[in-house]
A and B are shown apart, each in its own frame.
Chain A
Amino acid sequence: MFSNFSHPALKTSSSKVSFALLLAMRSAFFALLVALLDYALDFGTSPTLLCSGVIVGTIVASLLAFSNLRGRGFLLLLGLIFILHKIAFWIGTKIIELNGEQIFSLYHLQEHGDLLLLLSGIAAVTTWAFWWFRHVITLELLLMLLGCVYLLSGHRNFHFDRPQLINTLAWHFGYSPLAMFIIVGSVAAFCLIFYATIASLPSKPIADPEQRSVKVHRVRPNLLLAGSVVGIAAILLFTIAQQLFVHYSEVVTNRLANGVGQADKEGLSPLGFHSALGSTKQPAALLRLEGDYADNPHSPMLYLRESALTEFNGRELVYGGASWSVDASNTKPDQPFQRDPDPILQDRSELVQSIYLLSDHNFAFAVDYPISIRRLQNPNRKRFKAAYRAISLAPSASIEDLHYEPVGDPRWSVDELDHYLAPHTDPRYGELAKEVTKGITLPVRQAAALAKHLSKVAIYTLTPEHELEANEDPVAAFLFGDKRGYCVHFAHASVYMLRSLGIPARIATGYLTDLSQARDGHVLLRMSDRHAWAEINISGKGWIPFDTQPEQVENFADPQVDMNMLEELMSMLDPDEDILPNDVIKDELNVYPEESVSLPDPRVIFIPIIGTLLFMIFFKLYLRYGWLLAGNGRSQLRRSYVALASTLYDLGYRRQSGETREEYRKRLNSEVGQELLLITSKLNSSTYSNPESPIVSSEEVRGLREVDFKTLAKFPLWRRFLAFLNPSSLLVPFSGRSW
């Protein structure tokens, strides 16, 4: 196998290092590619087998590229293997009579073999081309970049959770998808740069004799150059990645959450009007209902209120401060909260919920009207950010029963009433509201008529993307324009129209979830469940959601909940060990589902690496101190020479091809300016003398060796240390060359 190192293109040590590095990188790349493809496509054939196949294909093609085989011969060889494979199975099908259980075994073997041959063939052909043609690297890099761009293009419009693998990795490691997206991108870019740098160094061996460079390069400058480029690239990438993370983490929360962010400052709105990218399924929290909510008037939907927007600032509704939304807790998730129930509120029942936050939240949220919020012990710090238990007074009256109720709270002052009735300056809202509610006098029915009207005429879309001037009313473009919008548009339009009719209204923000996707009272809240809705105040009942359910939907967030994830999170809330010990089912079969993505055990990666490093260290020690193990003087002489020559090799003073030991010694002495390798003449005479001649004495060898070692000790310590770390000398015994 290593006879290929005698190929003219692989003569220099720098080209050998390049060859080994590139071969390792290509093998790793193909194996990774196969593993990724298997994750995405599910080959149905063992990925270990396929990975081994592509690695073998890469190695064999690399060795053949530097053999006497030419292009046509290589392709013929591959074709022959493929044809032989087909013929073998064709004959097998004709001859072997399979029945019973084995009836398809030959066919299965053929199917797996086809795939193995296809993938390893692709790896082999591209690797062959890589060694033969200089410009293949450009093409390869282009293809890799295209692949990366294609895969990561799913992240457009802030979808940092695409492709799915990024989301899976982020969940596994407990990072945010944005962080994982940037990490994956940076690592991919770094690997590409590293590969491109090594592959474009002049020391890269070219198998084609016509393209081969005649220059002989020393390995040190090449590796130094490569190291500098890669190092600078790593620093640059790290800086860019960090800046990207800082920039996007500010933008992304609002965009990914159906346009409903979490701004908590007075005078600001957490709502965005341009586009809502709610199709993301990023988990936001796990809600656990501690009791039944049979009287839920919105069943199967459940509203969880976080904050309310009451103040109109001339352009949109904004957060008016805690005093204007007293029914929300207005506390942070880690703050306790307690109040006495409002005595005026009727038709409400107590509902206890535990909420386990999976992403950062500025406000604690709960069903309707929380009267108590207490922090819970975090059941899993790696997964949950915080946990709290809320007790709410949840409405139990059906909406139909409220039609005859008056609106507003009789305890409000004039200022308070004015605040909740502050109208939009555009008279069109009032005109439209009057037109829609013509003939209806009861305010709750008017509200219902407006909600019905909007649900009929407007289209729900996550991407309305209205082009607006800085101070332009974003809701007018929706209601009086193309009528395309999402919850933020619907809620604003409803509130403006309701207020124009004298109905106290506001926008509530939080989550809207579907209880039909709950399991054992556990609901997984995603970013796509973030919602904004209109509410009106009904006397004696409090703030009641009057949400719109559009009949026409252009696009919407996929409501399907990942049940595996829900179950995984539920299992973290299992009772304590004293109630339910884990080991009680340790001997049971099929208890835990197989993981869809199983990341390799770190030991699987580190043990071979550590093993290889240890092997290298021991081998180097053997090269340097092998004379300690030698028996007679002749053997000691040989091992002492190897120890000196390998040290010099790692220091950069190498014996060139065709150079005799004596010539090497002379050149070395003139380059270093010191008398080195005094042992050479003794070794030459010992090697080429009659075996019967007297054996060299150990004392004599030791004397010569110690002189040489003393000379070597004159090299600076750092150079000797770097030389010890330099693995180049380890390759020499395998290259077929002598010291």
Chain B
Amino acid sequence: MKKFISIFLTCFLCLLSNAFGEILDPLDPFDRPDSVAESENEDSDKSAMELIEEAQHLLMDERLLDARTKLLRALEKDPKRYEAHILLSSYYIRHVGHFRLALKYIKRARQLFEEEHGPPPYSDPLQQYKHSQVLYLISQSRLNLDNYSGALELLDEYSSYGYTSEWYASSRAWILMKLGDLDEAIKIARTGMLAGAEPGRTLNMLGILLSMKNERKAALDVFRRAVLYETALGRLGQPATPLNNQGEVYKEIFNENMAELSWLKSTSLPDGCEHVLPALNLALLYIEQTNYRGAKKTLDNFESCVAQFPLRNGEEHKALVHLARGRVDLHTGNVEQAIKHFESALERKQWFGKIGTNIEDLQVGVLISLAQALEIQNNHLKKTNHPSIAASIGSSRVQVANRIRAWWYRRRARQILSEDLENLEDIYIRHTDSMVEYPSFGYLLKDFPTRTLKNRIALEKKTDERREATLYYKGYIAENLLRHGNRDEGISLLREVISNARSQFDDALKLHAQILLLQKIRTEDEAYKFLAFEAFETARASIRNYGLMLPVNFQVENSKVKNAMENANFTLDNSKEFPYTVSAEHSEGKHILSFVASKNSPIGTIKVRGEDLKQTVNKFAATVFSPDFNDEK
């Protein structure tokens, strides 16, 4: 009986241990922690403190994984060595960006520290230093986990013990900014500058805060000082960041030349491709000036720069680069490639912690772009000569699917923009977080009820005194009015936008307005022809992208060729002299189609050959309506 009871108890205990602990296989000799390998390693006879000291040296030598392993070994030897916890936390914040784990280590360090030295305050300077370090790391971990009030709480505690540090002012100001207390943040940053805070970081922070308070002149002055300070540090300095911020402020005040200069300088510096924003900002500026070649070159340069650092995490910038590349492809008529870029941007998981923007901004940018690209693809398909009925049916199917997808993406983009991004904060023209060029926003805003949009714009205009911004707001209202059937008022506003747009800097806005106007007037009108030529000269792809027709003179006898041309984006008209002429000939079984621009035009002559007439005309239209980056000036 006793035997039975003991067996029963053993089984019961086994079951209990299975229920509460990890299941170990008693018959498996390897199902035990690895002790052999550990005993073999060279660190086995070192103390925990020796290992921690070695790890510190390794961290300084950038041998990060060796340092991490040493620290973990130190903790295996002595799990209560808080110095190892502090170093591991710092490693996970600075080098890995794994803030949850960093917080875990540093909170454990705090527990152990207080167990060893008792509760604060401390009189020993070394203990004070370590304690301040612990508080700083907790606040940094919380800040990076978006727990701003928690981070501020720690900084309050930090200052309550009389600790001071050069990072304190900028860090506190950053947290206050995130909590929306701009005035207090500015006060802290300014006081910090007087009290000896680290100038580069604090000035940069102060500049950002001042620009958010619309004190842009003061912000620019502060950024200038930050750039000077960082430049003076030589190889240790990081002037690209304040330069980028300076460029953003210049862009906000519509000083595009200075913005371009800041970003060009920023991207040319050694730390210029530390993050993507300077290159992205410059590319967007070029797109707003319809300088697609410049935008493409900027992105090429950025990617070449990043390629020098093979171990840098690729996640950080790829979605944004895909978005910007897609926008260039879209405006230059390469719509299939653009769609691929946008879909890649949508799929990629971007890590936004470092560059200070958020995922909704990216989502909105990509969704607008995808919707636009799908509608543009439909316009291309509508003006394509299909070789067979099957191809025509296939094209119709694609068009229906594209329309549904575009509708859906527009709906989602509007929803995110107005629900998640603080009541359409991006409507503030040249808002720094926006990831698409501003004329494109009208495409999205047209679907809002006119009254709602007008109210929102009126609200924005109360605080926005920038004269140049007014034109954009008018453009948005015009597009919205046209969408809701208010043709006359819409057209009148569009004409105002076109006539008041600044040359070069507002080219994309002007082009967008011209396109909208062209869609509303008849091709026979003189105004149509004038606008179409101007739009074509500004951006060759625009005519085809929006399903418009380009009036051209022709030297074509064959009626089949004429029909095929008119099924593409050409209106053949010899009643007047136009700047462009198309001609067709047939020799040696091949169709040769030519496009000749007048001498004043930078486009020159384009020739396309092919055996099949329809395919040759399609290729001809695609070539005429897309810029060649290799040939153009």
Contact = CB atoms under 8 A, between A and B. Distances in A.
Q: Considering residues B41, B64, B69, which has the most beta carbons from chain A within 10 angstroms of its beta carbon?
A: B69
Contact of B100 (A101, A336, A520, A592): A592
Interface residues of B, number: 65
A391 B455 contact: no
A502 B407 CA distance: 64
A519 B68 CA distance: 13
Interface stretch (A168-176, A466-474, A571-579, A682-690): A571-579
B469 interface: no
B233 interface: no
A619 interface: no
Nearest to A43: B412
Contact of B36 (A101, A290, A374): A374
A591 interface: yes
Interface in B481-523: none
A106 interface: yes
Q: Considering residues B75, B103, B150, B452, which has the most beta carbons from chain A within 10 angstroms of its beta carbon?
A: B452
Contact of A579 (B23, B75, B150): B75
A563 B66 contact: no
B351 interface: yes
B349 interface: yes
Given A377-B32, A580-B105, A516 B63 contact: no
A588 B142 contact: yes
A232 to B, nearest CB: 39
Given A107-B449, A292-B66, A519-B96, A588 B37 contact: no
Contacts of B107: 584-585, 588
Interface in A40-67: 41-42, 44
Contact of A584 (B31, B64, B79, B108): B108
Interface string A286-301: 0001111010000110
Contact of B145 (A517, A579, A588): A588
Contacts of B412: 42, 44
Interface in A540-597: 560, 562-564, 567, 570-571, 574-575, 578-582, 584-585, 588-592
A374 B419 contact: no
Contacts of B157: none
A381 interface: yes
Majority secondary structure of chain A interface residues (helix, strand, loop or mixed): loop
Interface in B411-461: 411-412, 414-416, 418-419, 423-424, 448-449, 451-452, 455-456, 459
Contact of B103 (A294, A520, A588): A588
A588 B150 contact: yes
B147 interface: yes
Interface string B312-333: 1111000000000000000000
B76 interface: yes
Contact of B452 (A41, A103, A585): A103
A515 B107 CA distance: 30
A395 to B, nearest CB: 18
A299 B308 CA distance: 12
Contacts of A106: 452
Contacts of A413: none
B73 to A, nearest CB: 10
Contact of B68 (A300, A378, A521, A571): A521
Nearest to A390: B37
Given A44-B415, A564-B349, A581 B448 contact: no
Contact of B146 (A94, A375, A585, A590): A590
Q: Considering residues A103, A104, A562, which has the most beta carbons from chain B within 10 angstroms of its beta carbon?
A: A104
B145 A590 contact: yes
B194 interface: no
Contacts of A325: none
B147 A590 contact: yes
Contacts of A99: 455, 459
B310 interface: yes
B452 A563 contact: no
Given A98-B455, A104-B423, A581-B108, A591 B103 contact: yes
B184 to A, nearest CB: 22
A628 B416 CA distance: 61
A41 B409 CA distance: 10
Interface string A167-210: 00000000000000000000000000000000000000000000
Given A44-B415, A334-B30, A563-B351, A291 B66 contact: yes
Contacts of B411: 44, 111
A377 B33 contact: yes
A519 B311 CA distance: 10
Given A579-B75, A589-B150, A592-B100, A521 B108 contact: no
B622 interface: no
A49 B63 CA distance: 53
A103 B423 contact: yes
Contacts of A292: 63-66
**What class of interface size applies to chain A in its complex with B?**
35 or more
B608 interface: no
Majority secondary structure of chain B interface residues (helix, strand, loop or mixed): helix
Given A104-B418, A377-B34, A591-B100, A575 B423 contact: no
Contacts, number: 151
A567 B30 CA distance: 27
Contacts of A674: none
Contacts of A456: none
B348 interface: yes
A290 B37 CA distance: 12
Given A41-B408, A93-B452, A300 B103 contact: no
Contact of A291 (B36, B65, B95, B423): B65
Interface in B256-296: none
Contacts of B75: 575, 579
B46 interface: no
B101 interface: yes
A139 interface: no
A336 B310 CA distance: 35
B310 A516 contact: yes
Contacts of B65: 289-292, 520-521
Contact of A294 (B63, B105, B108): B63
A585 B104 contact: yes
A574 B448 contact: no
B34 A389 contact: yes
A292 B55 CA distance: 13
A294 B351 CA distance: 26
Contacts of A521: 64-65, 68
A60 B453 CA distance: 37
Contacts of A389: 34, 37
Nearest to A90: B449
Contacts of A516: 310-314
A735 interface: no
A372 interface: yes
Given A374-B36, A377-B32, A563-B349, A104 B68 contact: no
A299 B311 contact: yes
Query: Which 5 A-B pairs give the minimum distances between C-beta atoms?
Result: A300-B310, A375-B30, A589-B147, A104-B418, A521-B65
29 contacts: A44-B415, A98-B455, A101-B423, A103-B452, A108-B415, A108-B419, A290-B69, A291-B66, A291-B69, A292-B64, A300-B311, A372-B40, A375-B30, A375-B34, A377-B33, A381-B22, A389-B34, A516-B313, A517-B313, A520-B96, A521-B68, A560-B348, A563-B349, A571-B100, A575-B72, A584-B104, A584-B107, A588-B142, A592-B100
Given A377-B33, A588-B107, A591-B103, 20 more contacts: A103-B423, A103-B459, A111-B414, A111-B415, A292-B65, A334-B30, A372-B40, A376-B33, A377-B31, A389-B34, A515-B310, A517-B313, A520-B95, A560-B348, A579-B79, A582-B104, A584-B104, A585-B104, A589-B150, A591-B145
Interface of A: 41-42, 44, 93-94, 97-101, 103-104, 106-108, 111, 289-292, 294, 299-300, 334, 336, 352, 372, 374-378, 381, 389, 391, 515-521, 560, 562-564, 567, 570-571, 574-575, 578-582, 584-585, 588-592
